[in-house]
Amino acid sequence: MRILHVSNQYLPEPGGITEYIKNISERLAARHELYVFTTENYGMPESDEINGVSIKRFRCFSPNNAYYMSFDMLSELKKSEFDIVHGHNYHALPLFLSRYARKKRFVVTPHYNRYGVTRLRNVLIGMYKPFGQKIFREASKVVALSNREKCLLMEDFLIDDRKIAVIPGGVNLKHFKGLEKTERKDKTILVVARLEEFKGIQYAIRVLPLLDNSIHLEIVGKGPYKEKLITEAKKLGVAHRIAFYQDLQGQDMVDRYANSDLFMLLSRHESYGITVAEALASKTPSIVTNIPALKQWVDNKNCFGIDYPIDIALLAGLIARVMSQKVQDVKIWDWDDVARQIELIYLAQDE
């Protein structure tokens, strides 16, 4: 089969959607022709091939890292023909554009969380709803990453239950086998997220003054909120206890998880939370916000929840308690399993 993935982001841009498309595409590339259309990563070639996946990057209009409208992509899609077109991310316009490619089947993974990250984007999401309904009407199959996302899609777009398949994101479990936790005097809290205000990284910084000086914070990610985070850390006098990293991949990222004593994801909005899966796979206890997409991980043994608005004193107490937890067995999908399930959807639709 000729399979096209369409998204606003792909390698080398980090993020959950990139990881999702990358891991599915590279696994299926051994048996199918795999293509990705994505918006431009500055400094990268327009055409590329990575691990058997052919990539085309298109210039786009993306004010404040939003919308990602590309007329060049639209023009190319209208000339293209594939067996499967798989569109991604309801919160960016390339998914809507993916409808225009000629195709036998149309699959959609919306990574839908109902809300925008700003008031303006929230308003625009409401205005965009008729276009979203058109996407889902035309889709042969919709893939939700969680039961909660499925419920949101059914509530907001009245999608038939039978049209939605729930397939969680995965983890390269083989990378996490045999990891050993080393007892150290100093402790590390890890945050892995795009540096945006809604990701809640500022709370991980604000809690540091309430924690023992031996506890340090590592932040992995990049984004427009970084300078504000640095400013806040300096203002609180904890900048020396914080290390920033970006573009970590493979074993470097696994090592960050494995060498951490606690993982935190304090987002206001998420569609799944793949970094939580990776943290738990590395046997690192976790704290997440009790939003619907993340609450699915909360079992009060390995992963613990905290409500919004976040009470910093309550967070400090929870950190002190959770850091000593030993992670037990957690059900986590491997990317091989995810790719097989997606392939079955492609093949079933060809019948």
Span 256-272, mean pLDDT?
Answer: 92
Mean pLDDT of the residues in the chain: 92
Question: How far is C-alpha 232 from the geometric centre of its chain's CA atoms?
Answer: 25
Q: What is the pLDDT of residue 266?
A: 97
Q: How many CB atoms lie within 10 A of CB 235?
A: 10
Q: In this structure, which topology does domain 2-170+334-349 adopt according to CATH?
A: Rossmann fold (3.40.50)
Span 207-233, mean pLDDT?
Answer: 96
Span 134-146, mean pLDDT?
Answer: 96
- Separation of alpha carbons 259 and 183, rounded Å: 9
Q: What is the pLDDT of residue 183?
A: 75
Q: What is the pLDDT of residue 350?
A: 44
Span 218-228, mean pLDDT?
Answer: 94
Torsion of CA 112, 341, 253, 4, to 10 degrees: -70
Phi, psi of 233 (to 5 degrees): -60, -40
- Contacts (Cβ under 8 Å, ≥6 apart) of 122: 115, 116
Contact 220, 256 (CB under 8 A): yes
Condensed to tens digits (0 to 9), the pLDDT of residues 312-346 reads 999 999 999 998 789 988 889 999 999 999 999 99
- Which tokens in the block code for residue 163? 């049209």
Confidence band (pLDDT; 50, 70, 90) for 249? confident
pLDDT above 90: percentage of residues in the chain: 76
Top pLDDT among 236 and 123 is at 236
pLDDT for residue 262 is more than 60: yes
Across 318-333, b (16+ Cβ under 10 Å) vs e yields: bbeebbebebeebebe
Strand order through the sheet with 53-58: 47-50, 53-58, 33-39, 2-7, 81-88, 102-109, 141-144, 164-166
Span 177-184, mean pLDDT?
Answer: 77
Contact 294, 268 (CB under 8 A): no
DSSP letter string, 24-54: HHHHHTTTSEEEEEEE--TTS-SEEEETTEE
pLDDT for residue 177 is more than 60: yes
Q: What is the pLDDT of residue 122?
A: 66
State which CATH number among 3.30.9.60, 3.90.550.10, 3.40.50.2000, 3.40.47.10 fits the domain covering 173-322.
3.40.50.2000
- Separation of alpha carbons 80 and 77, rounded Å: 5
CA distances from 326 to 61, 279, 308, 329 (A): 46, 12, 26, 10
Confidence band (pLDDT; 50, 70, 90) for 261? very high
CA distances from 117 to 66, 113, 187, 199, 330 (A): 10, 10, 32, 9, 30
State the alpha helices, DSSP H only, in the chain: 16-28, 71-79, 94-97, 119-138, 147-157, 173-176, 201-206, 226-236, 250-258, 274-281, 292-295, 312-322, 335-349
Q: What is the pLDDT of residue 13?
A: 82
pTM of the full predicted structure?
0.84
The distance in angstroms from the start CA to the end CA of the chain is 13
pLDDT for residue 349 is more than 60: no
| Domain limits, CATH 3.40.50.2000, in the chain | 2-170+334-349, 173-322
Phi, psi of 213 (to 5 degrees): -60, -15
Condensed to tens digits (0 to 9), the pLDDT of residues 11-24 reads 888 788 999 999 99
- Separation of alpha carbons 303 and 325, rounded Å: 9
Condensed to tens digits (0 to 9), the pLDDT of residues 90-137 reads 999 999 999 999 999 999 999 998 876 666 666 677 778 899 999 999
Q: What is the pLDDT of residue 16?
A: 85
Q: What is the pLDDT of residue 351?
A: 44
Contact 133, 159 (CB under 8 A): no
Condensed to tens digits (0 to 9), the pLDDT of residues 39-81 reads 976 678 899 999 999 999 999 998 877 889 999 999 999 999 9
- Which tokens in the block code for residue 224? 């427009």
